[in-house]
Structure formats: C-alpha cells, structure tokens
Amino acid sequence: MDLNTLRHSASHVMAQAVKILWPDAKLGIGPSIEDGFYYDFDKKEPFAPEDLEKIEAKMAEVIKKDYKFEKSEMKKEDAVKLFEKIGETYKAQLLKEIPDEVVTIYKDGDFLDLCRGPHIESTGRIKAFKLLSIAGAYWHGIETNPMLQRIYGTAFETEKDLKEYLRCLEEARRRDHRVLGKQLEYFSFNEEVGPGLVLYHPKGAITRTIIEDYIKREHLRRGYELVIGPHILKSDIWIRSGHYEYYKENMYIFKIEGQEYAIKPMNCPGHILVYKSKMRSYRDLPLRYFELGTVYRNEKSGVLHGLLRVRGFTQDDAHIFCLREQAEAEIMKVIDFVADTLRVFGFDDFSVELSTRPAKSIGNESDWEAAQSALINSLNKKGLNYEVNEGEGAFYGPKIDIKLKDALKREWQCATIQCDFALPERFDLTYIGQDGKDYRPIMLHRVILGSLERFMGALLEHFAGQMPLWLAPIQCIIIPVSEKVIGYAKEVEHYLREAEVRTAVDERNERLEKKIRNAEVEKVPYMLIVGEKETKERTISVRLRSKGDIGKMTLDEFNKLLKKEIEEKK
C-alpha cells in the first residue's frame, strides 16, 4: 500500500471526525506530507490538546464502519454551488481557482470532500494512526488571510511501524536543539533583540569558536586564501549581481545620505571585487577565496525555527575562480572536503541532490548546460548517487546540495556547490590566457558546513547535547569532596588550564552526589573527584560521562588520555 495514499485517506477521515464533532467547522485542505498528514480547519473555538483524543476516538468509529471511498466527477460550476450550499466556503474558493471544468469529489459514508485522489479502497484499511499536534496556518500561507487551525497526524500500515515512528519522534523531542540550547546555556533568543537573531552564551561561543578555528585551518591547508568583506554594500552592487531583482524581498535595504545600501545576504559580490582588484593571469587560477561571512536575510517570522532558520547567520563561504577545464577537478575537491569534514564531526552518511535551472534566472542556456555538466560529471566521477530537483537551482547557476544524516537518520542541509557562468559575465571578470587574450573565468560558490547556526543545531541534536570532548565547552569539572580539599582542586584546575584543557571547579557546598548529578545534567565529559586521599597521593578519581568511575590517575596520565581523545576527535 502506498503510504502517501494511506495518509491522505487518513486526513479525510480526520476531517470527517471533526465535522461530526463540530458540524460548524469549515474545511481547508488536507494533504499527505513527509511522515504524515494534516488538515486545516476554520473553527470558532480553538482546538485543545484533549480534543485530539476525541477526534481519534471518532476516527476509530469511522474506520470500524469501513466506508468505501467513492469517487465521482462533477462540473466545476455545480461543485461550487454544492459546497457553497453546505457552507464550505474555502472549498468553493479552491474550486474557483481550479482551471479544470470537471472536478472530482470523494465520498465515504455521509462525508464528501473536494479531492483529486487517489484514496485507499475503504476507511477500514487504516490500521495504525495517531494525531500529533495543533498549529496555526494562514489560508493559502498568506499572512493577510484568515488564520486556520491545523491538526497534524500520521498513519502507517502496521502498529509496529507506528510505534517505531513515535519512539523516534520522542527521541527527536529529547534531542531538540532549542531545548538543549537553553538547558546547556549555549544560546538564546530575545524579543528585545528581535526574532531570528542569536545570542551566543559563553558555552555556545566556545564551541562555535572551536568549529570556526578548525574550518579556518582546513581551508588554509587546502589552498584557500582568507578574505574579509564589509557587512553593507551599495545597492548598485546588488543590482549588478542580480540579487536586487531576484532576491530583494529577502534583503534589508536602507539609505545613508541619499545613497541606498543593503546588508549583505550573500558574500559573493565582495569576493568578486577582490578578484577584480587587479589583472589576473591563467597562471593565478584557481583562486580560492574563503570568508567566515555573516549575512542577514529577511525571513518571515513564521518560518523561523531555533538555529535552523534565522535572520542572521555565518557561513563558511568560499568562491573559487578557475578555468573551464579546472572546474570539475575543483568540484571534486570540494566534495572530498565536505566528506572529510562531516566524518570529523561525527557524521558518517549524507545524501546528494542536483538542482537545475529555475524559471527566474540569468545567463544563457549553453552556459547553464555547461555548468550542469560540470556538476554531473564530478558526481559521476566520485561515484555518488543523487536525486534531481528540477528548477530548484540558484538564479545564477545549478547546484549540488549535500545533506548530512544524523543519529536518527534525519537529513540536514549543509554543503552547497554552485557552478556559475553568469556573475563573471555580469561583473566582466577576466584573466589573461596563454595567448595573451582575455578570457572569462568560471566561478564556483560553495560552503562546507553551510550556516554555522544550522550546523550547531544539527550537532546538538546528533549528539543529544553530549558533545565529543574536543567540542565540549567544559571538558572536565573538578569536584572537591569537602572544603578541606578545595586548595588541591584549584591546583588541579591550574595544571589542566596550563595544558589548555577547559575546566572548572564546583566549589558549592553541596553533597557529592548532587554535584556529580549536576555535571551529568550539564553533559560534561569528565568529572574529577578529589578528596583527602587524592590530595595526599596527588591523584584524581576520574568519572566518564555516561559510564561512571574509570579509576584513579595522576594528572599527567589524565592529560595524556585527554590529548589522545582530542587528537582523535572522538
């Protein structure tokens, strides 16, 4: 049985149950989606969480009656009259927007709905379902339209599959980076600052800095050069690049002394201007410019989501200017860079998508075909399988998207490689060839981690907040058994800090068990217990997160243990 068909049928049964319980509720739309389904309702009183149980019970009654899903066709004008007569104004509006002269109606029992289908044979085929949550949703997704109430649910062929999905869902809730970020004091959002703008707390700032330092070193090691550009540029630059025409609604634009400026949503124009700052030769290429560039995008408040969708974020952004014959080799190097980096951060699997030319774009067809061929050939030479997203490329070129898979096998967008012939043309980029003539370079836009904010969110959820030692903001916490040994605890702290270990002493007047529990809640990798015996022996009793006591060690022995684990990045 096709899961999408099953879930779409379950959404109809949910709407049917709602109409039985609240006959005055008006129906919006109810499609199947990834992992489930939803239906939108216009209901005077808001749904309460306990209403989901009532709806599920009524759905079970409909399912037990095993109504057949009966399809019929009707002239659109007759269907409009029908739905207006029964008070389903949203359905009537949908019908008026449909160009077809004949539409399909589905009926099961006394319930009928406008729908293209298909559906399963009968309601009795629905064996395992669950309603999950309630949310708000504007009609047609337009903020000036009425706010409807959306109920989300899911359905599977078997109870076993449903239980496994719900288990994964609960695990995902436990790993939610928004909860962990607050609990572990990594970051916060504040309405006084504005939505979608991140405040990094000391712990989050340390982990982010470690990530930044690593990615900078790797870029330098792989032949990139660091550049830094301003956060605002005159609008003339964005008009020339095409962003003003194709991306303006996502930009923050303002005036200074009569001159219009924009806060950068991308880093590429700045890198282009560095390239143009002097004459280039074919011997100079490829040129690889790298910047940890902070950008700002005017995202709607409704789509903001923790660190995953924000208005201000930093990208490990680079642009490679190369000869046409160098493009494939450079793309393959970027793919290797991505795979190597993901493994270092604990991600062993990823998926690949190729996005082609969108309807709104710049550049000529032959250049687009050449750019797309370079991407496809590179993927084929690396032996990577990929899916094609028709029409989802950037406005200036096709792209490869690489999505990491976390511990729950969820995909997170990170790396992107875009092959661009258009912007070098718009900015008249040239290099002197072997024959002394001017030629146009190819420009590759690429990120490895992508948005550092999104990558931090992915890391927190992948590790459930238990960061590996090299990324942990506090690598070990020293726990003195009593006030008598605080002096020795401070000596241990000093030794470890001199060895560049991130550590702290828990000096609170609390029971040992409570201090250990607190360190475990804060997900600190190592706990060092020091009492009178350890003070006398000049040792420490070491506890490992999630494993407990691993024995006594000298400070030198413990330091060697840490250094090995940090070096191996486990």
pLDDT, mean of each 10-residue run, the chain (570 residues): 90 95 94 92 94 96 94 90 91 89 90 89 94 92 89 95 92 93 96 95 97 97 97 95 90 95 95 96 97 94 90 96 95 96 94 92 88 94 93 90 91 92 93 96 96 96 96 97 94 96 94 94 96 95 92 95 90
- Domain total of the chain: 3
315 is a catalytic site residue: yes
Give catalytic status of residue 219 as yes or no.
Answer: no
- Are 14 and 55 in contact, with CB atoms under 8 Å apart? yes
Q: Are residues 22 and 111 in the same domain?
A: yes
pTM for the model? 0.85
Residues 414 and 509 reside in one and the same domain: no
Domain span holding position 455: 202-229+265-462
Residue 445 known to be catalytic:
yes
User: Distance between CA atoms of 473 and 208, rounded to whole angstroms?
Assistant: 9
In a domain, 451, yes or no: yes
The answer to whether residue 432 sits within a structural domain is yes
State yes or no: is 340 an active-site residue: no
Q: Which entry of 113, 130, 175, 268 is annotated as an active-site residue?
A: 268
> Which amino acid belongs to residue 119?
H
Q: Comparing C-alpha atoms, which of 11, 302, 249, 27 is closest to residue 142?
A: 302
Looking up residue 518, the CATH number of its domain turns out to be 3.40.50.800
> Does residue 382 form part of some domain?
yes
In this prediction, residue 98 carries a pLDDT of 86
494 is catalytic: no
**And the tokens for 98?**
């449909």
Could you tell me if residue 236 is inside a domain? no
Q: Are residues 316 and 404 in the same domain?
A: yes
The one catalytic residue among 8, 91, 150, 399:
399
**Domain stop point among 136, 156, 174:** 174
What pLDDT shows up at residue 1? Answer: 67
Does any domain span residue 189? no
Q: Do 51 and 130 reside in the same domain of the chain?
A: yes
Same structural domain for residues 497 and 453? no
Residues 527, 514: Cα–Cα separation, whole Å: 13
Question: Active site includes 317?
Answer: yes
Q: In the prediction, which pLDDT does 360 show? A: 86
The angle that helices 452-462 and 202-221 make with each other, rounded to 10 degrees, is 110
67 with 122, same domain: the answer is yes
Residue of 319, 333, 446, 515 with catalytic role: 319
Distance of CA 210 to the CA centre of its chain: 20
Same domain, residue pair 407 and 484: no
Q: What gap in Å lies between CA 206 and CA 116, rounded to an integer?
A: 53
**DSSP states of 80-128:** HHHHHHTT-HHHHHHHHH---SEEEEEEETTEEEE------SBGGG--E
The tokens 């809730």 sit on which residue?
Answer: 173
Structure tokens at 208: 């982010």
Query: Is residue 253 in a domain?
Result: no
Same domain, 447 and 518: no
pLDDT (0 to 100) of residue 546: 83
Closest CA to 474 of 194, 205, 292: 205
Q: Is 480 contained in some domain?
A: yes
Residue 274, domain CATH:
3.30.930.10
Could you tell me if 292 and 315 lie in one domain? yes
Q: Which of 130, 208, 280, 297 is catalytic?
A: 297
Phi, psi of 148 (to 5 degrees): -100, 170
* Residue 494, token pair as written in the block: 């000093």
Q: Which residue has the tokens 């999408």?
A: 4
Query: Counting beta carbons within 10 angstroms of the beta carbon of residue 568, is it exposed (0 to 12), middle (13 to 18) or buried (19 or more)?
Result: exposed
Does residue 10 form part of some domain?
Answer: yes
Long-range contacts for 381-389 (Cβ within 8 Å, ≥24 apart)? 381/328, 381/332, 382/332, 382/335, 382/336, 384/335, 384/352, 385/352, 386/351, 386/352, 386/353, 386/354, 387/351, 387/352, 387/353, 387/354, 388/353, 388/354, 388/355, 388/356, 389/353, 389/354, 389/355, 389/356
Query: Do 115 and 150 lie in a common domain?
Result: yes
Check if 119 is active-site.
Answer: no
List alpha helices for 439-545, DSSP H: 452-462, 486-498, 512-521, 532-537
Q: Could you tell me if 432 and 481 lie in one domain?
A: no
Q: Does residue 116 sit in the same domain as residue 208?
A: no
Catalytic residue among 8, 208, 271, 445: 445
Domain stop point among 154, 174, 194: 174
Of residues 40, 316, 317, 406, which has the active-site annotation? Answer: 317
Which CATH number does the domain housing residue 70 bear? 3.30.980.10
CA–CA gap between residue 553 and residue 561 (Å, rounded): 10
How far apart, in whole angstroms, are the C-alpha atoms of residue 460 and residue 243?
A: 33
Task: Catalytic residue, from 315, 326, 372, 475: name it.
Answer: 315
Beta carbons within 8 Å of 339's beta carbon, 6+ residues apart: 350
**462, 495, 514 — which closes off a domain?**
462
